[in-house]
């Protein structure tokens, strides 16, 4: 259950409710909202106790979430949350572009891509240092050296960076290289040991939807991150596996308006991994922004035919520039802005 108190409710009154819950073995979490106190009961509340609490004059509303997730539920925040990745804000009526190569392939190429990402107008640089590949013989990434190359390229063009972490053992390397945002890939969405470790790193997390995950399962993974210390979660829809084989995956845009009802977390869409075909990415990006996405994550490479992974879904520099320009226009048409930096 989630309680909304009247604005201006005294801290002592909120604490009295919390102590009442704790005395009955019910854990609580207080929202960071400043406009009014919002309290989530993590455990199931007996009907008699729920009625008693709901009758308190300082309690305005109560909500029973659809699932067991509480901290990522829409009712836990007064407004949709905003996650800061370096100076970039995701959520809160702004649209952001995240772009970069599938894999970090070397310092010169990474720096070249960083410049074209910045020049195209994207705000966050992405790149894989550790690559989860279906075949054990495919390029697996440069590991720690890849993190160094990515971070150096980001600093050279003054862009924050995001990269996928696959193993909790690699977390110190991500922290040491000051990777601005940690990505949990689709294959690790329900790797709860990894989620717990990453949640304690003090970094925002980009959480991709699993290959065949339901929205409930996805939000439970986000709840793991929030429950273990990371309130800065960004959801990423990247297509799910269906019977359709014409594209790499099936992009599920129906969930965007649904997520607005269920969670306060910002949502970005990755049309590159959904389609797997570069020419389909621009129209899917347009559809994503139109459906309410807070950002678009795409892959780009100056020479896709030379890419060490996923070249078929990499945009050319000019295509990225056009995509960002269209996103800027769509943001304005839908009453939003295209990224304003944090002061």
Q: Judge if 23 and 116 occupy the same domain.
A: no
Q: Judge if 248 and 309 occupy the same domain.
A: yes
Percentage above 70 pLDDT, the chain: 97
Helix axes of 144-157 and 107-120: crossing angle, nearest 10 degrees:
40
State the average pLDDT for the chain.
93
Spatial separation of the C-alpha atoms in residues 254 and 129, rounded to whole Å: 31
Between 150 and 132, where is the model more confident? 150
Q: Judge if 114 and 146 occupy the same domain.
A: yes
Dihedral over alpha carbons 185, 191, 192, 198 (to 10 degrees): -40
224 — pLDDT class (breaks 50, 70, 90): very high
For 103: left if phi > 0, alpha if psi spans -120 to 50, otherwise beta; the answer is: beta
Domain of 210: which CATH number?
Answer: 3.20.20.70
pLDDT in tens, 259-307: 999 999 999 999 999 999 999 999 999 999 999 999 999 999 999 898 8
Residue 202: inside a domain: yes
pLDDT, residue 139, reads: 65
21 — pLDDT class (breaks 50, 70, 90): very high
Q: Judge if 45 and 189 occupy the same domain.
A: no
pLDDT, residue 341, reads: 52
Q: Judge if 309 and 197 occupy the same domain.
A: yes
Q: Judge if 59 and 88 occupy the same domain.
A: no
342 — pLDDT class (breaks 50, 70, 90): very low
Residue 92: inside a domain: yes
DSSP H or E segment with residue 181: strand 181-184
DSSP H or E segment with residue 87: none
pTM above 0.75, yes or no: yes
Answer yes or no: is pLDDT of 191 > 60.
yes
Residue 30's domain spans which residues?
2-64
- Number of domains into which the chain is organized: 2
Dihedral over alpha carbons 156, 339, 98, 113 (to 10 degrees): -30
343 — pLDDT class (breaks 50, 70, 90): very low
């Amino acid at each position: 259950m989630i309680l909304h108190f009247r604005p201006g409710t005294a801290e002592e009154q909120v604490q009295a409710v919390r102590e009442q819950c704790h005395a009955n073995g019910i854990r609580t979490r207080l929202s960071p909202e400043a406009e009014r106190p919002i309290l989530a009961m993590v455990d199931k509340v007996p009907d008699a106790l729920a009625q008693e609490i709901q009758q308190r004059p300082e309690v305005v509303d109560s909500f029973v979430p659809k699932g067991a997730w509480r901290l990522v539920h829409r009712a836990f925040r007064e407004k949709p949350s905003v996650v800061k990745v370096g100076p970039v804000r995701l959520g809160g009526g702004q649209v952001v572009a995240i772009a970069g190569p599938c894999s970090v392939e070397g310092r010169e190429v990474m720096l070249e891509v960083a410049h074209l990402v910045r020049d195209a107008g994207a705000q966050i640089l992405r790149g894989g240092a550790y690559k989860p590949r279906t075949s054990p013989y495919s390029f697996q990434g440069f590991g720690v050296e890849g993190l160094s190359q990515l971070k150096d390229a980001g600093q050279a063009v003054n862009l924050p960076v995001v990269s996928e972490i696959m193993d909790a053992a690699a977390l110190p390397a991500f922290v040491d290289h000051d990777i601005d945002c940690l990505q949990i890939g689709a294959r690790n969405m329900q790797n709860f040991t990894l989620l717990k470790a990453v949640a304690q790193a003090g970094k925002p997390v980009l959480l991709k939807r699993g290959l065949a995950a339901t929205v409930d399962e996805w939000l439970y993974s986000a709840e793991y991150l929030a429950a273990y210390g990371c309130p800065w979660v960004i959801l990423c829809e990247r297509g799910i596996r269906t019977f359709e084989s014409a594209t790499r995956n099936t992009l599920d845009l129906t969930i965007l308006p649904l997520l607005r009802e269920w969670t306060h977390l910002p949502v970005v869409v990755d049309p590159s991994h959904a389609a797997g075909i570069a020419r389909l990415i621009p129209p899917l990006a347009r559809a994503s922004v139109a459906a309410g996405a807070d950002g678009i994550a795409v892959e780009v490479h100056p020479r896709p035919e030379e890419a060490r992974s996923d070249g078929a879904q990499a945009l050319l520099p000019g295509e990225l520039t056009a995509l960002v320009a269209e996103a800027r226009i769509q943001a304005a048409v839908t009453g939003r802005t295209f990224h304003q930096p944090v002061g």
